[in-house]
Structure 1
């Protein structure tokens, strides 16, 4: 398999790929100064043939842009062996779950998401495509997270909350009310401090 993105997040993804038995052929990255990361070579062009790949870039908008551009890609889903994933969870292509993640029954997670270290997602949550759930986030049951949203490290969301598309939830925020599309929310209790365009 290949990893698309050779920065810090790509290093973590590489180790999870190794843990799950994948052979990493190379990274793909447009930075010409990068030649090797960890023990792997870095290509600066996409191979012209069909490849197995995971987009190892933390930025949600960039991951979506790469997918929209298309390519001869078979997207891999990676689940760290030291995560606890219910057998009744559905996980989309290109998504990664990192060490210590807990995902409980009847959760649906979309494509190209990052479920980061020690995040907890309780029953019946829906996580749409291109979402990043940061380390130590806690989502209670029946939470909805819209496409492209980034939930910052250590944030908590009470049951039944709906968070819109392309939102930013600040580190440590406590979300006790629904969040509209494009909003940035910080604090305890969470308050909207700005809104942004949804154009990708």
Structure 2
């Protein structure tokens, strides 16, 4: 197995670590987290010394942080240290990935997720537990699809957008970039960029900035 590091030592990282262990493709040599002062997390050492040396000597790594914009910022920081750093994806053996599905680097596909044919998942995305992404979807970079989300066919979700728990998105809907769709919504018409929207039917409630926290 090839050695990797995991960036992040919070709750989300536990899910990522579990998938990596179940896949059996990579060996985690440790975690990198500037904010967690513990010595270890979920059975793995939190690395504090010679981080750049470690990053230059592993096969790659994955960012295990739930917030979309934070993942983007950390990606840029890693690339500033090592422009050639390899980001790996993790795909739960208990997910269902159909033919002609593309999954970008650094993305995580959780247990129970279904991704149907000819869908494209961007870089550094989170497709969460028991979500269902139907055929011919285009999911942008740094997107998070929460547990139990269902999308119809030919849905487009823009970069950095978060679709909340249990949301339903009907066929051929476009959702813009840097948008948050609140939990339990039903999206029956297009939603623009840089907004918070929720409800049944889903409606825009207010504007938001790309760095605004939503978790």
TM-score, shorter chain, exceeding 0.5? yes
Q: Distance in 1 between matches of 2:157 and 2:38?
A: 35
User: What is the correspondence of 1:59-74 to structure 2 with a 5 Å cutoff?
Assistant: 59-69=67-77, 70=79, 71-72=81-82, 73-74=85-86
- The answer on whether the counterparts of 1:185 and 1:193 sit within 8 Å (CA) in structure 2 is yes
SS in 2 for 1:3: strand
Q: Which runs of 5+ in 2 are unaligned?
A: none
- The answer on whether the counterparts of 2:69 and 2:210 sit within 8 Å (CA) in structure 1 is no
The answer on 1:11 being equivalent to 2:35 is no
Q: Deviations over 1:77-108 (max 9, x none)?
A: 11100100012101100001000000000000
Per the TM alignment, residue 59 of structure 1 is displaced from its structure 2 partner at its CA by: 0.6
The answer on 1:42 being equivalent to 2:50 is no
1:121 aligned residue: 133
Per the TM alignment, residue 199 of structure 1 is displaced from its structure 2 partner at its CA by: 6.5
Give the count of matched residue pairs.
200
After the TM superposition, which parts of structure 1 deviate over 3 Å for at least 4 consecutive aligned residues? none
- The answer on whether the counterparts of 2:69 and 2:211 sit within 8 Å (CA) in structure 1 is no
Q: Distance in 2 between matches of 1:107 and 1:33?
A: 40
2:28 aligned residue: 24
Q: Distance in 1 between matches of 2:183 and 2:211?
A: 24
Q: Distance in 1 between matches of 2:176 and 2:99?
A: 27
Q: Distance in 2 between matches of 1:173 and 1:184?
A: 11
Q: Distance in 1 between matches of 2:154 and 2:23?
A: 30
User: Which deviates more, 66-75 or 154-163?
Assistant: 66-75
Query: What is the aligned counterpart of 2:106 among 94, 119, 127?
Result: 94
Cα gap change, 1:61 to 1:14, in 2 (>3 Å) = same
Question: What's the RMSD between the two structures over aligned residues?
Answer: 1.3
Q: Deviations over 1:129-164 (max 9, x none)?
A: 000000000011000000000000100100000000
Q: Distance in 2 between matches of 1:79 and 1:122?
A: 17
Q: Which runs of 5+ in 1 are unaligned?
A: none
Q: Distance in 2 between matches of 1:30 and 1:39?
A: 18
